[in-house]
Chains A and B, each alone.
Chain A
Amino acid sequence: MDLLEYQGKQLFARHGIPISPGRAVRTVEEAVAAAEEIGYPCVVKAQVQIGGRGKAGGIKLAGDRDQAREHASAILGMDIRGLTVREVWIELASDIESEYYASIVFDRSAKAPLVMLSTKGGMDIEAVADEDPDAIAKLHVDPLLGFQSFHGRRLAFEAGVDDDVVRPVGAMLAKLYDAFVAEEATLVEVNPLIVTPDRLVRVLDAKVTLDANSLFRHPDNAALRDPSDEDEQEQMARERGLTYVKLDGDIGILGNGAGLVMSTLDVVALAGGRPANFLDAGGGSKAEAITSAVEVILSDPKVKAVLFNIFGGITRCDEVARGLIEAFEVLAPQVPFVVRLDGTNDLEGRRLLAEAKLPNVYTEATMDGAAKKVVELAAGS
């Protein structure tokens, strides 16, 4: 789960990382009130989970009340790469002498946290990594040992930070590591990490990704999930315990198992179709789960045809067939369905479907055949 900048900063503050005074607001009036309270100059920052906010005009400096109003009006409601800004963070402006970059990522390759530090902060770090990889100091931390002071010093010296801030930068990295572990993050990124004219090290931005599987241990973090950020179908699916990702095509997809569903999307695309969603009904799905999943798929008005691709292991094909029959009784879908059932109890599942004589339901024997058929039906409707 990705956090907004201010949520990340508030999380940092819980681990002893100093942050500038600021307030998150949702209206222009609140923004002006916040700016008056915080003082000038202050920064009005769009809160969206995407990079490049500054370039898009989503970060502005306000020197007085009028400017605060002007910037808040412009930024609230602004579209930044497809995301609408519904919240801004008003923060006291900082004097900046140097801009660094710091991050901790869950490095899957090395199977260890990777801490990175660079004096080339404030810009796109992927571009720095491409053009000048030596400018980024990197260190893997043994998760059983944790982050030690010497790790911080090594990184700071290797990155070439100013001598007088080697220790404070190291201490900041240690605190970020504490936050990374304690909050069970998979990413903590600060860009820029700044040094002020009075030689203080401060975080000016925060990008935090939390591990969704650990949220049950962190109710405060779990509460940060903003349902209004989610697509309607995605929200509906999550409430029903289904794994759903909205895509931009017109063929609804249901399968069991993440790998098989991904493969189904690919095979449909190869056949010339465009999937409307990824939906994994999960292992061992019962009929009710299938009915519920059909409801989620059909709630997307773009869907013109639906493909069921099931290879039963612990999932039983007869349960899938019962779920589909039930869905037809409850929902009376207006779009055609193509169903491919293989694996556990496949014969029984196919027999149930044949007996039910559902309108506009086509059964296919193979995954490729089913993909071709559904593409044809979506194009023809």
Chain B
Amino acid sequence: MSILVGEHTKLCVSGITGREGTFHALRNRAYGTQVVSGVTPGKGGQSVEGIPVFNTFHDAVQETGANTAMVFVPPTFAADSILEAEDAGIELIIAITEGIPAHDELRAYSVIKKNGRARLVGPNCPGILSPGKANVGIIPADFFKQGNVGLVSRSGTLTYQIGNELAQSGFGNSTIVGIGGDPVPGTDFIDAIGLFEDDPETELIVMCGEIGGDAEERAADFIAANVSKPVLAYIAGFTAPPGKTMGHAGAIVSGSKGTAVAKAEALEAKGVRVGRTPTEVAELAVSLLGAAA
């Protein structure tokens, strides 16, 4: 098993005719993901290396049975594309786009929540990889193999770093979920950790957080109450000064809120072990599951 994406995934890529959209759609297909269609308004009827392009998500769903969307369009149009995918009945919407205006994001999130039909992952995320099954997004799949560690992270490259440290210690992954670095992520740590708890393939959950907000603190409470599997954490941004946005729109210490220290303490208070460096996370994983699990 794995979570969110797998053999059942039928992907439709919004922005498939753009440079990045084409590149990653083809890369995802080469990995084995079923990329069934793409959407670019005005380019319906064309195809990208055999992938049919439609004017609307509604057409794409009707004609190709797409159940998952990857949104790759520029920030100005991204929220609209997310809402269109939701309206067309797509179940899982993965938004890669960085820089979506916060109020657009909030509106899209609120509609999705109210209708209760779809799950949004991202925006500003690297996507989701279930090694050996499907890759939706920009995660470099070559570094990861199938295994029993579920990884959920707010950051892309940090995920690769930690995933790679785990791989060098012999671990593979059930699924890697990038929830993104924006202030209003569609899917939170809690959602992803809950899915990993129910996934039989996952034996260890690693969460990779950073400064800003209180998603890690809320995850700590959730883990204590609902999770039987071991959970390890890493938090980035111990040295970040208050009031400065550290790259990700959501990575900011506001006054005394959202510090890495507070997050690490909240997690440790609930029995979640926190590695101080990516390497230490891998060492903790070995101590929990044994070497080369």
Contacts and interface: CB of A to CB of B under 8 A. Distances in A.
B279 A367 contact: yes
Contacts of B102: 106, 184, 186, 211, 213-214
**Most chain B CB atoms below 10 A, which of A108, A181, A257:** A108
Given A109-B213, A112-B110, 5 more contacts: A247-B239, A259-B247, A263-B278, A266-B237, A343-B143
Nearest to B106: A143
A263 B161 contact: yes
Interface stretch (A30-38, A88-96, A310-318): A310-318
Nearest to A113: B106
Nearest to B142: A344
Interface residues of A, number: 52
B251 A262 contact: yes
B210 A259 contact: yes
A143 B79 CA distance: 15
Nearest to B238: A266
A144 B108 CA distance: 10
B135 to A, nearest CB: 12
Contacts of A243: 247
B155 A343 contact: no
Contact of A108 (B107, B184, B247, B276): B184
A265 B161 CA distance: 14
Contacts of A181: 103
B139 A262 contact: no
B136 interface: no
Given A214-B103, A263-B236, A367-B278, A108 B160 contact: no
Interface in B208-247: 208, 210-215, 218, 234, 236-241, 244-247
A368 B157 CA distance: 16
A106 B252 CA distance: 13
B2 to A, nearest CB: 20
Interface stretch (A5-13, A157-165, A275-283): A275-283
Contacts of B266: none
The 5 closest A-B pairs by CB, nearest first: A259-B155, A258-B247, A257-B157, A259-B158, A214-B101
Given A108-B213, A263-B278, A278 B160 contact: no
**Size category, B interface:** 35 or more
B106 A259 contact: no
18 contacts: A143-B106, A143-B107, A181-B103, A211-B101, A213-B100, A213-B249, A217-B101, A259-B236, A260-B236, A262-B158, A263-B277, A266-B238, A266-B277, A269-B238, A278-B247, A283-B156, A313-B139, A344-B140
Contact of A109 (B161, B214, B237): B214
A108 B140 contact: no
Interface centre among A216, A247, A260 (most CB of B within 10 A): A260
B197 to A, nearest CB: 22
Contacts of B100: 213
Contacts of B76: 216
Given A108-B214, A111-B109, A211 B247 contact: no
A23 B75 CA distance: 37
B184 to A, nearest CB: 5
B259 to A, nearest CB: 12
A216 B99 CA distance: 11
A103 B239 CA distance: 29
A304 B157 CA distance: 26
Nearest to B234: A263
Interface string A237-275: 000000101010000000111111111011111100001
A111 B113 CA distance: 10
A368 B140 contact: no
B214 A106 contact: no
A186 B210 CA distance: 20
B164 interface: yes
B239 A265 contact: yes
Contacts of A213: 75, 99-102, 249
B110 A144 contact: yes
Nearest to B183: A108
B153 interface: yes
Given A258-B251, A266-B237, A245 B246 contact: yes
Interface in B110-150: 110-111, 113-114, 126, 138-140, 143
B157 A265 contact: no
Contacts of B110: 111-112, 142-144
Contacts of A212: 245, 249
A214 B78 CA distance: 13
A366 interface: yes
Nearest to B160: A311
Contacts of A109: 213-215, 218
A95 B249 CA distance: 40
Contacts of B211: 262
Contacts of A142: 110
Interface centre among A245, A258, A269, A270, by most chain B C-beta atoms within 10 angstroms, is A258
A368 B277 contact: yes
Given A108-B184, A262-B210, A184 B103 contact: yes
Nearest to B188: A111
Contact of B156 (A144, A259, A268, A278): A259
A311 B162 CA distance: 10
B181 A108 contact: no
A189 interface: no
A303 B68 CA distance: 47
A18 to B, nearest CB: 25
Contacts of A66: none
Interface string A309-350: 001111100000000000000000000000000111000000
B250 interface: yes
